Structure 1
Amino acid sequence: MRMKTRTSLTLILMVLFVGHAQSEEHLMGEMDVKIPVQDCVMEPSEIVDVGSVVPGVVDAIHVYRSDLIKKGAVIVELESSVEQASLELARARANQNTAIELREESARFGTLTQNREQALLRKSAISQHDWDKTKTEARIAELQVKQEQDNKAIYELEYRRAQLVLEQRRIRSPVDGVVMERFKSVGEFVEDEPVARVAQLNPLHVEVIVPVDYLGSIVPGMQADVRTGLANSGEYRATVERVDRVADAASGTYGVRLSLPNPDYTIPAGLRCQLTFLPQTQQKPQTVAVQSDAATAMETADEAPLGRCYSVGPVEDKSTAEQLADKLQQQSESLLLRAVSESVEVGYRVLAAEPFNSVEKKQLLARLDEAGITDRFVLAQGESKGRIALGYFRKPYFANKRQESLAQKGFVTEILPHRKDIEQYWLDVALTSELDSPDQIEQIAATLSTAPTLKPMACYPELARR
Structure 2
Amino acid sequence: MSMRNLFLLLLVANLALASWLGLRTPPPQLPLTGNSPGLVPIRLVGERAEPVSTPSTVVASPLTSGRALVAASACRRIGVLPDRAAALKLVAALDKVASATRIEADPERERVGFWVLIPPRSTRESAERTLQQVRQSGIQDVWLFRSGELENAISLGLYARMENAEKRRDAIANRGFRAEIRPRYSDRERQWVRVRLNDPDFDLRPLASGVDGVPGNVAISTEACADDLVASRP
TM-score above 0.5, yes or no: yes
Residue 312 in 1 paired to residue 79 in 2?
yes
Aligned twin of 1:448:
211
Rg: which structure is higher? 2
Given residue 207 of structure 2, which amino acid in structure 1 is its aligned partner? I
Could you say which structure has the greater relative contact order, defined with CA pairs below 8 angstroms and 6 or more residues apart? 2
Q: Distance in 1 between matches of 2:82 and 2:227?
A: 19
1:289-344: CA deviations, max 9, x gaps? 5xxxxx553343334363374423314134x4233113224344464321222222
Residue 458 of structure 1: how far off its partner (Å): 5.8
CA distance in 2, matches of 1:462, 1:400: 49
Equivalent residue number for residue 184 of structure 2? 418
Q: C-alpha displacement at 1:408, in angstroms?
A: 2.6
- What residue identity is the alignment partner of 1:455? A
2:152 is matched with which residue?
A: 386
- Report the secondary structure of 2:168's partner residue: helix
Provide closer, same or farther for how the CA distance between residues 391 and 306 of structure 1 changes in structure 2, counting only shifts above 3 A: same
Q: Deviations over 1:40-81 (max 9, x none)?
A: xxxxxxxxxxxxxxxxxxxxxxxxxxxxxxxxxxxxxxxxxx
Shift of 1:378: 0.9
Cα deviation for residue 446 of structure 1 reads 2.5
Within 5 Å, which residues of 2 pair with 1:240-389?
Answer: 288=59, 295-304=61-70, 306-307=72-73, 309-318=76-85, 320-333=86-99, 335-356=101-122, 361=127, 364-389=130-155
Note closer, same or farther for the CA distance 1:354–1:447 as it changes in structure 2 (3 Å cut). Answer: same
Match in the other structure for 1:427: 193
- CA deviation profile, 1:357-396 (whole Å, cap 9, x unmatched): 5675465335423421132111121111122111123444
Within a 5 Å distance, the mapping from 1:7-156 to structure 2 comes to: 17=58
Cα deviations by residue, 1:6-26 (Å, 9 ceiling, x for unpaired)? xxxxxxx8xx84xxxxxxxxx
SS of 2:79's partner is strand
- C-alpha distance in 2 between matches for 1:374 and 1:400: 17
Letter of the structure 2 residue corresponding to residue 380 of structure 1: R
SS in 1 for 2:223: coil
Cα separation, 1, equivalents of 2:184 and 2:206: 36
What amino acid is aligned across from residue 223 of structure 2 in structure 1? Answer: C
CA contact (8 A) 1:428 1:463 kept: no
**Partner SS for 1:343:** strand
Q: Which amino acid aligns with 2:141?
A: D
TM-score (norm 1): 0.32
In the TM superposition, what are the counterparts of 1:211-230 in structure 2 within 5 Å?
A: none
Measure the CA separation in 2 of the matches of 1:302 and 1:457.
18
Distance 1:332 1:362, change over 3 A: closer
* Superimposed CA distance per residue, residues 89-113 of structure 1 (whole angstroms, 9 cap, x where no aligned partner): xxxxxxxxxxxxxxxxxxxxxxxxx
Partner of 1:251: none
The change in CA–CA distance for 1:433 and 1:443 in structure 2 (over 3 A counts) is closer
- Paired residue secondary structure (2:226): helix
Q: CA deviation at 1:411?
A: 1.8
SS in 2 for 1:462: coil
8 Å CA contact 1:312, 1:427 repeated in 2? yes
Q: Residues 209 and 218 of structure 2 are in contact (CA less than 8 Å); yes or no, is this contact kept in structure 1?
A: no
Q: Is the 8 A contact 2:109 2:185 kept in 1?
A: yes
Give the letter for the 1:403 counterpart.
Answer: R
Residue 296 to residue 443, structure 1, CA distance change in 2 (3 Å): closer
Structure 1: where are the runs of 5+ without partners?
A: 1-12, 18-287, 290-294
CA distance in 2, matches of 1:381, 1:357: 12
CA separation of 1:397 and 1:450: change in aligned 2, threshold 3 A:
farther
Aligned residues: 172
Change beyond 3 A, Cα 1:461–1:298: closer
Distance 2:227 2:165 in 1: 43
Q: How many angstroms apart in 1 are the aligned matches of 2:69 and 2:99?
A: 16
Tell me if the contact between 1:345 and 1:420 (Cα under 8 Å) persists in the aligned partners. Answer: yes
Structure with the higher helix share, 1 or 2? 1
- Residues 243-293 of structure 1, C-alpha deviation per residue, up to 9 Å, x if partnerless? xxxxxxxxxxxxxxxxxxxxxxxxxxxxxxxxxxxxxxxxxxxxx35xxxx
